[in-house]
Amino acid sequence: MKFKIRLATLGDIEKIVKIYSEWGKFKGILPDCLTIGDSYDDLIKFFDGTNDSRRYLLAENESNEAIGVCYIDLIFLGYNNIRLGDMMVKEKYRKMGVGGALVDKVIDYAKENNVNKIWLWTQEELKDAIRLYEKKEFVFEGRQKNQFCNKDTLLYGLVAES
Ligand SMILES: CC(C)(COP(=O)(O)OP(=O)(O)OC[C@H]1O[C@@H](n2cnc3c(N)ncnc32)[C@H](O)[C@@H]1OP(=O)(O)O)[C@@H](O)C(=O)NCCC(=O)NCCS
């Protein structure tokens, strides 16, 4: 399958909301509060200039259907690190390289901006995601107790070679 990845803009919010609605499929696997995808109102501030701390990356197939998303959290860019946030590929389009390509784009962003550390949170139940991060050489950095929704969170990091 051919697809491309680009920076998302204001007009893409509905498409992103649709992809994140697939968090609902994790009900019974993750705590309920982690299965609620972001809404339009949650996201608008990252696109209308109110909050400039995130860059959303959107993957689209040849029919311009949005099939995957993640964001780069720039809050600690001044301290030389970025966070890869909330990656989701529509179930129908998994295992075709989209998630890997999104991670690669984040790594490219880090290289282009002299960022030497990318980090992320994930959950032990998200085995496909963990396999992907480890394939991309992210390293397990620890278990954060009761981090979100009274549940432990796993911390992963990728440090650029110097
Ligand atoms: C984690 C996630 C984003 C990965 O996305 P993806 O698009 O399936 O990722 P990729 O296709 O790049 O890689 C996944 C697997 O497909 C394989 N693959 C990639 N391209 C392939 C192809 N053309 N043919 C066959 N297999 C392929 C990869 O080798 C990898 O294999 P593995 O799982 O055995 O290691 C996706 O599973 C997802 O959205 N999960 C739910 C949400 C989630 O867990 N998000 C993470 C939040 S921390």
73/85 Cα distance (integer angstroms): 7
- 27, 128, 130, 152, best to mutate for ligand 1 pocket (most atoms within 8 Å of CB): 128
Identity of the amino acid at 114: N
Helix (H, G, I), strand (E, B) or coil at 94: coil
- 30, 94, 127, 155, best to mutate for ligand 1 pocket (most atoms within 8 Å of CB): 94
What one-character-per-residue DSSP string does 26-37 give? GBTTB-GGGS-P
Question: What pLDDT, in 10s, does the model give residues 37-54?
Answer: 999 999 999 999 999 999
What is the helix (H) or strand (E) element at residue 132, kind and residue range? helix 127-135
Burial class (CB in 10 A: 0-12, 13-18, 19+), 52: exposed
Question: What pLDDT, in 10s, does the model give residues 144-154?
Answer: 999 999 999 99
Taking the CA of residue 90 as centre, how many other CA atoms within 13 Å lie in the half-sphere pointing to its CB? 15
pLDDT class for 160, splitting at 50, 70, 90?
A: confident
CATH number at residue 145: 3.40.630.30
Domain encompassing residue 119: 3-159
Ligand 1 mean position, distance from CA 77 (Å):
27
Query: How many domains does one find in the chain?
Result: 1
Alpha carbon nearest to ligand 1 atom 14, residue: 95
Q: What percent of the chain has pLDDT over 90?
A: 98
Examine the pLDDT at 120 and tell me if it is beyond 70: yes
Examine the pLDDT at 162 and tell me if it is beyond 90: no
